[in-house]
Amino acid sequence: MTKSILQLDHVGVRFDALRAVDDVSLDVRRGERRAIIGPNGAGKTTLFNAITGVVPPSSGRVVFEGRNITHAPPHRRADWGISRTFQITNLFPSLTVRQNMELAIRGLTPRKFSFFGSPAATDEERAQADSALTLSRLAARADSAVNELSYGEQRQLEIAMALAPNPRLLLLDEPAAGLSPAERVIVANIIRALPKDITIVLIEHDMDLVLSLVDWVTCLNNGQFLAEGTPADIRNNADIQNVYLGKARHHA
Ligand SMILES: Nc1ncnc2c1ncn2[C@@H]1O[C@H](COP(=O)(O)OP(=O)(O)OP(=O)(O)O)[C@@H](O)[C@H]1O
Ligand SMILES: [Mg+2]
């Protein structure tokens, strides 16, 4: 078994003339906690889309566990062990927590999920759901409707749904976005306590949060690789500080 679980080899994603991801290479080790940081529009979510197959790369290669998955469809990549959360909440509000979990486990949409036509969850599906809800600290809310959950609990459910298929690679896109400081602490603790055999790649703008969670950080800017290093390296990196300060001034 190689130490590397995910390799991006000169990956590019173009939208017409825009190079949203431009010649990015990186190597994530099995069990690693990796952050992808960078200002708005840096290409972070597009990079996740290239890894999960939502947007195929226009150049380069994506290799997962030694397998070239560059052009594999998203559901195959999910079967092979890649799972993700989305930057925007992606839940079905009138269903219960457990029903949302069943949708995630079966890879269904609500349209296909009929309360009358759908067979009851198998014992195995129930066990998968329970285990993911426990890791996400939502077991007590299993029978609540999603629209009764706090926003923080909804983000926890998204993590639970991504964990449900037992992924080996978990991609988290701004899991703490929009949360209060107290809710952020809960989400950070959930991520920190996830089993070490799940490799995690995390996009997050809150620098204190992200640097407290990961071993290694990759910073993108304008679709391109800017820098990488340990959290301590990143705190002291002048290029990264300039990029963030530059953007902050720009938005001011
Ligand atoms: N489907 C698409 N079609 C056209 N352009 C896109 C598409 N998806 C992303 N882009 C553009 O690609 C660039 C990178 O976007 P992306 O969403 O990957 O950035 P990001 O780093 O995730 O930003 P944020 O921190 O704001 O979430 C942006 O200029 C964006 O407008
Ligand atoms: Mg994004």
pLDDT surpassing 70 at residue 178: yes
Closest Cα to atom 30 of ligand 1? 41
Amino acid identity at 71: H
- Looking at residue 10, its pLDDT comes to 98
Give the tens place of pLDDT for each residue, 40-77.
Answer: 999 999 999 999 999 999 999 999 999 999 999 999 99
Closest C-alpha among 107, 14, 26 to residue 55:
14
What is the rounded distance in angstroms from the CA atom of residue 82 to the CA atom of residue 78? 5
| Centre of ligand 1 from the C-alpha of residue 227, in Å | 19
pLDDT surpassing 50 at residue 121: yes
Give the CA radius of gyration of the chain.
18
Amino acid identity at 220: L
E strand or H helix that includes residue 209: helix 207-211
Query: What b/e readout covers 221-238, taking b as 16+ CB neighbours within 10 angstroms?
Result: bebebbbbeebeebeebe
Give mean pLDDT, residues 129-154: 96
Closest C-alpha among 249, 231, 227 to residue 38:
227
- Looking at residue 1, its pLDDT comes to 53
What is the rounded distance in angstroms from the CA atom of residue 163 to the CA atom of residue 198? 9
Tokens of 159: 């993590």
- Residues flanking ligand 1, CB < 6 Å: 15, 18, 20, 38, 40-46, 87
173 DSSP β-pair partners:
203
pLDDT surpassing 80 at residue 2: no
Nearest listed ligand to the Cα of residue 43: 1
Ligand 1: residue of 13, 22, 46 to mutate (most ligand atoms within 8 A of CB) is: 46
End-to-end CA distance of the chain: 49
Listing DSSP states for 104-148 in one string gives HHHT--GGG--TTTSPPPPHHHHHHHHHHHHHTT-GGGTTSBGGG
Nearest listed ligand to the Cα of residue 251: 1
Domains of the chain, first to last: 1-81+168-252 (3.40.50.300), 89-166 (no CATH)
- What's the distance, CA 125 to chain centroid? 22
Closest Cα to atom 8 of ligand 1? 46
Nearest listed ligand to the Cα of residue 49: 1
Tokens of 163: 């964990």
